């Protein structure tokens, strides 16, 4: 075979896993092919996450905050999140850092071309591209089948929410931002039933910040709608006129918050990774840290079992149920999404909430968080899921 590993897609999931391989002597003699049709030469997004440890990508952390702000018409607070730190990495820094490091390895090849179909023979994985056909022992696919540009076939009992957002990095003429605090969620916006809309601010100086309008919903907006909301927020909450700031960069994205199980093992030698493999948390849209955890599990499985496929325990799968219950409550409009987060942050320390959202909490913490929101909508959501056959399909 020509390669040991082929990556179909060269985004954050592929580059993360390739970097873990590159740093591990176990993979020193492995031949790797990374196929990506798009140039990764723009700062098209930011990767943000909370952690108590140094990141594997600590060298390129653009900014970090020890405090977050949570704002809601009923509750506002600046919160010290120790021992956590909230960090952000610019996409362009991530792409360049990974590519520069990986290209130093003579066993790693980057191929700028379009792939078409891929699959498994009885003995290996294969992929067809515009540049030819290639084989490897394993193929990692990180190109999601579902997305904003493709038709989604919705299946009961699952929920198909999208986290869609548009952000501006603005530079202001006067000092406006608290550079020590990231605005995690600002829900002081009009809320539509079945959705949750908030502003998200990552200040890098007193007069520069990402200002991002984010929605958990089922319908993508026109760019004019996002921009109008950002302008209104800048005017009404940052108290700036249009001539008092300039837009330095823009970003736009759509992240699937689906609770339909993603297929990890697509065929005998093909594994879906990243968003394509279900790394996105259905209730929040956070993906970056889950990709890092996934990459480490794949590395461990390859070293121990000679296969990248790994299984999560039944206890770990309970978090998918929690995600589905939250989406069911939002979809049924029993509770407003903004109010659910408000009650959680008002009654619990962010450390407990972060563990819960990281799928690392214990049963006691989960019961305490559940007790902080009205129980009836969630109990009803649970039985709705049972009636729809959720447990038979998971």
pLDDT digits (tens, 9 = 90+) for 304-352: 999 999 988 777 789 999 999 999 998 888 888 999 999 999 999 999 9
pLDDT tens sequence across 130-151: 999 999 999 999 987 633 334 5
Total structural domains in the chain? 3
Domain boundary among 272, 305, 338: 305
Which is more confident, 378 or 313? 378
Mark whether 130 and 21 lie in a shared domain: yes
Q: What is the CATH number of the domain that holds 181?
A: 3.30.9.10
Least reliable range by pLDDT among 28-32, 97-101, 228-232, 390-394 = 390-394
- The answer to whether residues 135 and 125 touch, using CB atoms and an 8 Å cutoff, is yes
The answer to the question of residue 312 being in a domain is no
Interatomic CA distance for residues 328 and 259, integer angstroms: 10
Least reliable range by pLDDT among 87-91, 246-250, 373-377 = 373-377
Residues in the chain: 394
- The answer to whether residues 381 and 325 touch, using CB atoms and an 8 Å cutoff, is yes
Mean of all residue pLDDT scores within the chain? 92
pLDDT tens sequence across 352-365: 999 999 999 999 99
The answer to the question of residue 155 being in a domain is no
Closest C-alpha among 17, 93, 90, 22 to residue 291: 17
The answer to the question of residue 296 being in a domain is yes
Per-residue pLDDT, averaged over 177-182, amounts to 98
Structure pTM? 0.92
Q: What is the CATH number of the domain that holds 58?
A: 3.50.50.60
Which is more confident, 311 or 216? 216
The answer to the question of residue 252 being in a domain is yes
What integer pLDDT is reported at residue 42 of this predicted model? 85
Full domain range(s) for residue 338: 318-393
Mark whether 121 and 8 lie in a shared domain: yes
- The answer to whether residues 66 and 78 touch, using CB atoms and an 8 Å cutoff, is no
- Tell me the pLDDT band of 39, cut-offs 50, 70 and 90: confident
Mark whether 117 and 265 lie in a shared domain: yes
- The answer to whether residues 270 and 118 touch, using CB atoms and an 8 Å cutoff, is yes
Mark whether 23 and 136 lie in a shared domain: yes
The answer to the question of residue 313 being in a domain is no
The answer to the question of residue 184 being in a domain is yes
Mark whether 252 and 118 lie in a shared domain: no
């Amino acid at each position: 075979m020509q390669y040991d590993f082929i990556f179909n897609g060269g985004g954050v999931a592929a580059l993360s896993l390739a970097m873990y391989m590159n740093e591990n002597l176990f993979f020193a003699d492995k031949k790797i092919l990374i196929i990506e049709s798009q140039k990764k030469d723009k700062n098209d997004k930011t990767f943000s996450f909370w952690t108590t440890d140094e990141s594997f990508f600590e060298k390129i952390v653009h900014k970090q905050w020890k405090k977050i702000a949570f704002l809601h018409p009923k509750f506002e607070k600046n919160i010290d999140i120790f021992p956590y730190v909230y960090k952000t990495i610019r996409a362009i820094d991530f792409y360049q850092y990974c590519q520069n490091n990986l290209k130093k390895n003579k066993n790693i090849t980057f191929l700028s071309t379009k792939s078409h179909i891929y699959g498994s023979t009885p003995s290996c994985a294969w992929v067809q591209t515009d540049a030819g056909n290639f084989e490897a022992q394993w193929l990692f696919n990180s190109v999601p089948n579902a997305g904003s540009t493709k038709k989604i076939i919705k299946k009961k009992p699952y929920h198909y929410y999208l986290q869609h957002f548009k952000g501006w990095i603005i530079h202001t003429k006067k000092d406006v931002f608290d550079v020590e605090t990231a605005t995690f969620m600002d829900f002081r916006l009009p809320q539509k039933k079945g959705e949750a809309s908030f502003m998200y601010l990552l200040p890098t100086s007193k007069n520069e910040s990402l200002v991002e309008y984010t929605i958990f919903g089922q319908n993508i907006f026109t760019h004019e709608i996002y921009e109008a909301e950002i302008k209104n927020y800048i005017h009404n909450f940052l108290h700036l006129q249009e001539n008092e700031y300039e837009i330095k960069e823009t970003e736009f994205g759509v992240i699937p918050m689906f609770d339909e199980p993603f297929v990890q093992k697509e065929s005998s030698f093909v594994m879906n990774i990243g968003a394509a493999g279900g790394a996105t948390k259905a209730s929040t849209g956070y993906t970056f840290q889950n990709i890092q955890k996934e990459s480490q599990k794949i590395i461990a499985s390859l070293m121990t079992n000679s296969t990248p496929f790994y299984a999560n325990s039944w206890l770990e799968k309970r978090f998918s149920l929690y995600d589905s219950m939250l989406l069911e409550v939002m979809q049924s409009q029993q509770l407003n999404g903004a109010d659910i987060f408000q009650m959680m942050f008002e009654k619990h320390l962010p450390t407990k909430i972060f563990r819960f959202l990281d799928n690392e909490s214990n049963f006691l913490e989960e019961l305490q968080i559940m007790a902080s929101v009205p129980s009836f909508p969630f109990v009803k959501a649970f039985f709705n899921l049972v009636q729809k056959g959720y447990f038979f399909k998971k």
